[in-house]
Amino acid sequence: MADPSTCSPLTRASVVAAHAAIAPHIHRTPIATSTTLSTFASTPQTREQLEGTEDDAAGAQPAAPHMRLFFKCENQQRVGAFKARGAFHALSRLSDEQLARGVVTHSSGNHAAALSLAARTRGVPAYIVMPSISTPSKIAATRGYGATIRFSGSTAPEREAVVRDVVAETGAVLVPPYDHPDIILGQGTLALEFEAQVADAVAAAPALSVRDAAKGLDAVIAPCGGGGMLSGVATALAGTGIRVFGAEPSFEGADDARRGLKQGRRIEAVKSLTIADGVRTPVGEIPWTVISDKTKVQDVFAVSEDEIKKALRLLMERMKVFVEPTAALGLAVALYNEEFRRLVEREAGEEGWNVGIVLSGGNTTMEAIGKLYAAPQTEAARAEGVVGINGERKAENVAG
């Protein structure tokens, strides 16, 4: 990839240009609404729901925000996730000479498939380094897009060592999963669509909006792992007045962005077996420059594994959308995180907010979903990865 210092600046105008470049290759994914879930989000939590929380211990009254929820269905994007946007934009920025050498990355997830598809579309070689513990379905999907797969160990140093070998052998250009301006700008294109789609929807049907007011989005909640999407969304919406928030799992320290903001520094390592396995990676250096800017990302909130599972069930059973656990993070924050809910109640008042939630992807299987809602998993079962997307176990700092 190009030296980040020579790339297009992280501005809304650059995201607009990125969207024009990739529009022929991506889906303009639909938005969806749910009266039921908006009602749930606007209903105070019960004492039973708050049991054991800090709010319960303090005897605080449950928040009573007013929200209308809008969902951006990136689970219907090509390769089943938003990652296609960044991959196609990254390749659009490479020279003919670079493309001829091919591209390489390391990933066991959505970025592997996305880069493989983008490379096939451009007619260039793709080399994907995948941990040997990657699930057969992910390996088959990546190979199905025409990529050459090289296997590695599961740790970041092991994967990176194999990438270096591929670069030395082939001259292929490294396309990182999230820590690069071209990736960030590509991911941000979903926010441009989201903003316009909601504005059009409420203009046509004002009753979709809070207080029947024909206004667009007030806020967007996006999952945060490496931070490519969250920083892209924040870049795209900078200056619009739309607030941007991140959503993370709290399990085993996967909420590194939230903790980093409180500590005033980027946390460089994450080792978590959260069921939201699309975000089991620390925020990258370049995304952190955006996420740590309060004028761009107002805050990041964390939710428990049980709250993710409850939100995922609602999305599947009430909205009839098939998504992976990571995609449920934003809804879990809107429904269950009292800190976020008090913020909406305080800042929105009686009028309320139109809240956009990014459904980041749908790459899971019925088998994995079934295991997720089976009997409680033991630590040994978690170590086998039976609760992860596609049943896979991802180790420390697995990206994409």
**Between helices 329-336 and 305-317, what is the axis angle to 10°?**
110
8 Å CB contact between 311 and 31: no
Q: Do domains 12-18+23-80+180-391 and 82-174 have the same CATH topology?
A: yes
Catalytic residue among 14, 107, 108, 360: 108
250 an active-site residue?
Answer: no
Backbone angles phi, psi at 282, to 5 degrees: -75, 155
> What SS3 class is residue 148?
strand
How would you class 313 by CB atoms within 10 Å of its CB: exposed for 0-12, middle for 13-18, buried for 19 or more?
Answer: middle
Mean pLDDT value across residues 155-164:
85
Tell me the pTM: 0.90
Number of neighbours of residue 2 by Cβ within 10 angstroms: 16
∠ CA 353-357-360, rounded to 5°: 170
Nearest partner of 355 among 224, 244, 240, judged by Cα = 244
DSSP E strand stretches across 27-109? 31-33, 67-73, 103-106
In the predicted structure, residue 399 carries a pLDDT above the cut 50 = no
Q: How confident is the model at residue 136 (pLDDT cuts 50, 70, 90)?
A: confident
Task: Give the tens place of pLDDT for each residue, 179-222.
Answer: 999 999 999 999 999 999 999 999 999 999 998 777 899 999 99
The residue written with tokens 């920025």 in the block is 93
Paired tokens of 340? 């976020």
The CA distance from 203 to 213, in Å, is: 9
Nearest partner of 77 among 113, 52, 33, judged by Cα = 113
Nearest partner of 280 among 305, 312, 248, 303, judged by Cα = 248
108 an active-site residue?
Answer: yes
Q: Which long-range contacts (CB under 8 A, 24 or more apart) does 263-272 make?
A: 266/292, 269/396, 269/397, 270/396, 270/397, 271/395, 271/396, 271/397
Q: How confident is the model at residue 51 (pLDDT cuts 50, 70, 90)?
A: confident
- Domain map (residue ranges) of the chain: 12-18+23-80+180-391, 82-174
Q: Lay out the sheet containing 299-303: strands in order across.
A: 31-33, 67-73, 353-359, 219-223, 243-249, 299-303
Q: How confident is the model at residue 49 (pLDDT cuts 50, 70, 90)?
A: confident
Average pLDDT, the chain: 90
Mean pLDDT value across residues 294-317:
97
Three-state helix/strand/coil letters over 332-397: HHHHHCHHHHHHHHHHHCCCCEEEEEEECECCCCHHHHHHHCCCCCCHHHHHCCCCCHHHCCCCCC
Paired tokens of 393? 């176990």
User: Among 10-19, 113-122, 157-166, whose mean pLDDT is lowest?
Assistant: 157-166
Nearest partner of 62 among 72, 71, 53, judged by Cα = 53
The CA distance from 35 to 202, in Å, is: 14
Backbone angles phi, psi at 243, to 5 degrees: -80, 145
Tell which CATH architecture fits domain 82-174: 3-Layer(aba) Sandwich (3.40)
Looking at CATH, the fold of the domain delimited by 12-18+23-80+180-391 is given as Rossmann fold (3.40.50)
The CA distance from 184 to 30, in Å, is: 21
Task: Give the tens place of pLDDT for each residue, 228-283.
Answer: 999 999 999 999 999 999 999 999 999 999 999 999 999 998 888 899 988 988 99
Catalytic residue among 83, 296, 310, 394: 83
